Chains A and B, each alone.
Chain A
Amino acid sequence: MGNMSFLTLIDPFIRYGFLQRALLAGLFIAVACAVLGVFLVLRGESMIGHGLAHTAFAGVALGLLLDMFPLGIALAVAIMAALLISRIKEGSGLSGDTGIAIFSSVGFALGIVIASLARGFNVDLFAYLFGEILAISPLEVWLSVSLALVVLMTIFLFYSRLVYMTFDRESARASGIRVDRLDALLTVLTAVTVVLGMKVVGIILVSALVVLPAAAGLQVASNFKKALMFAVLNATMSVGLGLLLSYHLDIPASGAVVLLSFLFFGILFVLRKARIFRSF
């Protein structure tokens, strides 16, 4: 009987291509978000995902205005913003947070203005604001999966340098690591990931996809690899179960994913407070 009900539970994912695509793209994007998120949260840059997503909004609006692949334009705009943010951080004496705040609001304002210029696609903009994981086309699945893989490969390649820089920036520099270049790399990777995550949960919630799994991982991990593992576990479970819940309870997928992620975070938080995970 347990087997039967499990089958009924996952049956829609077998029957509908759009759910399979959503799950596939969602899982890959979630892993990229989670891995990147651990670095960003530890760097105290939890809000950069939020900021870049808002900047990407301008790209989405521009793409819709020009009737060109909005996700592609959003990607280009977000990467440019990412590089500018790291430039501002270096050059202006403003703290990293300020650059993010400036760019996120300017990006969003630009998006609103562009949207009002074209006027015809407010409904489509909504889809990007709140996510439309059900409308992932086969091309977008392919793109999401490969970009998520590129992000993960890059992180793997620069893994110890990124950890070094995140943990002890000065010593990392003193051992000849070009931290400024790594900063830029990390920001660009974030831009890519955030734009992908936008499709899953939307601009407004994408920072949750970056921050929550990472924060959950940090609750219990005794080393960096475990933190990454817990974050990835949280993210993939949230997306998988979130889609399932969304289907069976008839609630929006984006909300379900984020709330589940928060639930897992909450459980780990309580476990940590109760010191159950001391051995980890």
Chain B
Amino acid sequence: MVLSESEGAVLVDVEEVTYAYNRIRVLDGISLKIRTGDFLAIIGPNGSGKTTLIKIMLGLLKPQTGRIRLFEKTLGRFTDWGKIGYVPQKATHFDTVFPISVKEVVSLGLTAAGRGMSSKNKADVLVREALARVEMEEFLSHRIGTLSSGQQQRVFIARAIVSHPSILILDEPTTGVDAGMQERFFSILGKLHREENMTIVMITHEVGILDKHFNRVACLNQKLIYHGRHDEFCRSDEFKKMIADGKHVISHTH
């Protein structure tokens, strides 16, 4: 199940990225490659720059130094956004009275720039199919605000995967979701990873679930402390030290 480091094409290439909010450094010289087949967990204490790193990858924030390449193109030249699915941390924090149906939310995923307007019928098929992949077909015409947060989260995943992206990026998607729902959630992601060969990147703070689902781990605390196979990471001293003291900085192994 676990891929060796050199395998797979590089989908996201982060090079020497540094970022500071109001001169407070959040990311310090981060270099990281995400390859086809990765099921990567990005972990680290609160405020360690996980979300910032993802936002930089997606072009939502501009790093002070360093550069990003997506699918071997520099960020400025990259236009094929349909290849990337994204579920932001605050996706479920929308106004619950927002009048939008599950179907409409999912079809937003087809709006990504660089994807011409597909025909209405084709879009309908894609939306239904995406909802089926997250086991939410029967909620098609429900208003999203009426769903539970776990259901909403799956709808947002459907929106992210409706364009059949090569990579899916999720920012703490399991926050506030109960254990049973979490299990179902990971089984859906696992299926996407296995059956559709989708590369998955996920920020999580729950270290306990690492070994069950992920094949790689990146541990972040301003610097990249560890990046590699999850099984090695779990056995490493760094992991134990990190658990003991989140601020301990270790040179990364990459």
Contact = CB atoms under 8 A, between A and B. Distances in A.
B109 A222 contact: no
A221 B99 contact: yes
Interface string B104-134: 1101111111100000000000000000000
A26 B103 CA distance: 34
Contact of B88 (A42, A170, A178, A227): A170
Given A42-B98, A170-B60, A218-B99, A224 B91 contact: no
A8 interface: no
Contacts, number: 85
B141 interface: yes
Interface string B35-62: 0000000000000000000000011100
Interface string A144-186: 0000000000000000110110011011111111100000000
B100 A163 contact: yes
B141 A222 contact: yes
Contacts of B160: 171
A176 B115 CA distance: 10
B103 A176 contact: no
A222 B86 contact: no
B114 to A, nearest CB: 6
Interface residues of A, number: 25
A242 interface: no
Contacts of A42: 95, 98
A26 B83 CA distance: 45
Contact of A171 (B100, B107, B110, B159): B159
Nearest to A44: B95
Contacts of A217: 99
Interface string B61-97: 0000000000000000001011010111011001101
A171 B82 CA distance: 12
Given A163-B104, A174-B60, A168 B99 contact: no
Contact of B111 (A170, A177, A218): A177
B98 A167 contact: yes
Contacts of A173: 58-60
B141 to A, nearest CB: 7
Contacts of A218: 97, 99
B182 interface: no
B108 A174 contact: no
B101 interface: yes
A240 B97 CA distance: 29
B252 interface: no
A64 B29 CA distance: 61
A67 B7 CA distance: 74
A175 B99 contact: no
22 contacts: A42-B98, A161-B111, A163-B100, A163-B108, A164-B111, A167-B94, A170-B88, A171-B91, A172-B111, A173-B59, A174-B59, A174-B86, A175-B82, A175-B111, A175-B112, A176-B79, A176-B81, A218-B97, A221-B99, A222-B143, A223-B99, A226-B99
Interface of B: 58-60, 79, 81-82, 84, 86-88, 90-91, 94-95, 97-101, 103-105, 107-114, 141-143, 156, 159-160
Interface of A: 42, 160-161, 163-164, 167-168, 170-178, 217-218, 221-227
